[in-house]
Amino acid sequence: MIPGEFDYVVAGSVDEAIGLLAEGGADAKLLAGGHSLLPLMKLRFAHPSLLVDIGRISELRGVDTGDDSFRIGAATRHADLQVRDDMGLIATAAKQIADQQVRNRGTIGGSLANGDSAADLPGVLLALEGSVTVRSRDGERVIEAQDMFQGYLSTAVMPGEVITEVRIPALTGYGYGYEKFNRRSEDWAMVGVSALVKASGGVCEDVRIGLTHMASTPLRASAAEDALRGKPLDAENIAAAAQLAAEGTSPLGDLNASPEYKRHLAQVLTKRALTTASAA
């Protein structure tokens, strides 16, 4: 649990961070909360030559509340989000990340850049259909959630790019539910399900379901969504839709969960998340 040798520099601004990152070359890495990167370094799975610490850049921390969206600074901590009940799904999910110590350090930008499909926020971003703004020497671009997560621990963020902001729609009128299943409360999700439901007159007008840890990237449970959209939001329809939650997924097994158990969990959790979201 002792990392290899590396250099460390604190960036005072986003522009400075971009410059330091570019100069640092291929093995330079951004350091935000450090709660994904440092464990990997201590296990010697990651060997960055330079860490550019962006955790103290004040322009990166905080939430701008707009009329129909939220703009979240990339270095905003999970602890900042967990108290924002007005932000709905993302606040509920943030509360369930690990324990308070981790939430006090971990950032949304770090979590999304890391792109771990077992992490809570990537699946949430996907369900919310949010986006990620990145900046580099070449300028700024926006990555839509659906394009963000590309494979096992790999995202659309290119070397040299810094996530500056995460945008999510307010989705007023949607009910939401987040179901995370793990062995211990501080663990990562064995499977997680985020659900957003818009009802009108007891009928499902829109539904979005994000799946956590059912593949090497977060997924949308589109078969289940299609099955529920336009249907009355009763227990029977919810259960029937939830049966389809794992459709098309081929999750990897691990020590604690076989693929079939994960598919089963996706169904159970989808039913529960949809039920919560519909009750709102």
Partner 1 sequence: MSITEAPAGKSVGHSLRRKEDPRLITGRASYIDDIALPGMLYMAVVRSTEAHANVVSIDTSSALGRPGIKAVYTGADMSDLLAPLPMAWAPPGVEIKTPERWPLARGHVAHVGEAVAMVIGDDRYGVVDAAEHVAVEYEPLAVVVDVEQALEDEILVHESLGTNKAHEWTMGGGGDIEQALADSEVVVERRIVNHRTAGAAIEPRGVIAEYRAGGLTVWSSTQVPHLVRLFFAVQMGISEDKVRVIAPEVGGGFGGKLQIMAEETLCAWASKQLGRPVKWIETRSENMAVSHHGRDQVDYVRMGATRDGRITAFHANIIQDLGAYFGLLTPMIPELGAFVMTGCYKIPVVRTDITGVLTNKFFTDAIRGAGRPEMTHMLEVMIDQLAEELEMDAIELRRKNFIPAADFPYETPYGITYDSGNYEAALDRALEIVDLDAFRAEQASLRSQGILRGIGFSTYTEICGLAPSRAVGPSGFGLGIGLYESAIVRVHPTGSVTVYTGASPHGQGHETGFAQIVADRFGVDPAVVEVVHGDTAQGPMGLGTYGSRSLSIGGVACAHAAEKIAQKCREIVAHNLEANPEDIELRNGKFSLKGDPDQGMTLGEVAGCAYIDATNMPEGMELGLEQTLIYDPSNFVFPFGTHVCVVDVDAETGKVRVVRWVAVDDCGPAVNPMLIDGQVHGGVTHGIGQALYEQVVYDERGQLITGTFLDYALPTAEEIPSFETDRTETKSPSNSLGVKGIGEAGTIAATPAVVNAVIDALRHEGISYIDMPLTPMRVWQALEEARGRGDGPRATEQGVSLPPQGEGSAGSGPTRPEGGAA
Q: Does 118 bind partner 1 (CB under 8 A)?
A: yes
Residues numbered 118-137 forming contacts with ligand FAD, rule: CB under 6 A: 119-121
Q: Does 39 bind ligand FAD (CB under 6 A)?
A: yes
Q: Which of 149, 174, 178, 181 binds partner 1 (CB under 8 A)?
A: 181
102 binds, among ligand FAD, partner 1, none (CB under 5 to 8 A by kind): ligand FAD
Min separation Cβ 96 and ligand FAD, Å: 7
- First-to-last alpha carbon distance for the chain, in angstroms, is 46
Nearest Cα to Cα of residue 148 among 139, 140, 158, 159: 158
**Nearer to partner 1 among residue 77 and residue 180 (C-beta):** 180
Interaction mask 40-79, partner 1, x per CB under 8 A: x-xxxx----------------------------------
2 binds, among partner 1, ligand FAD, none (CB under 5 to 8 A by kind): partner 1
Q: Does 268 bind partner 1 (CB under 8 A)?
A: yes
26 binds, among partner 1, ligand FAD, none (CB under 5 to 8 A by kind): none
Min separation Cβ 218 and ligand FAD, Å: 11
Q: Which of 18, 57, 63, 74 binds ligand FAD (CB under 6 A)?
A: 74
Span of 12-20, 26-34, 78-86, 248-256 interacting with partner 1 by CB under 8 A: 248-256
**What is the 3-class SS of the chain, one letter each residue?**
CCCCCCEEEECCCHHHHHHHHHHHCCCEEEECCCCCHHHHHHCCCCCCCEEEECCCCHHHCCEEECCCEEEEECCCEHHHHHCCHHHCHHHHHHHCCCCHHHHHHCEHHHHHHHCCCCCHHHHHHHHHCCEEEEEECCEEEEEEHHHHEEECCEECCCCCCEEEEEEEECCCCEEEEEEEECCCCCCCCCEEEEEEEEEECCEEEEEEEEEECCCCCCEECHHHHHHHCCCECCHHHHHHHHCCCCCCCCCCCCCCCCHHHHHHHHHHHHHHHHHHHHHC
Whole-number Å distance between alpha carbons of 190 and 263: 11
**Nearer to ligand FAD among residue 41 and residue 207 (C-beta):** 41
Residues lying near partner 1 in the complex (CB under 8 A) are found at 1-2, 4-5, 36, 40, 42-45, 99, 114, 116-119, 152-153, 181-190, 213, 216, 252-258, 260-261, 264-265, 268
Residue ranges in contact with ligand FAD by CB under 6 A: 29-37, 39, 54, 74, 97-98, 102, 105-107, 109-111, 113-114, 119-121, 157, 162-163, 188
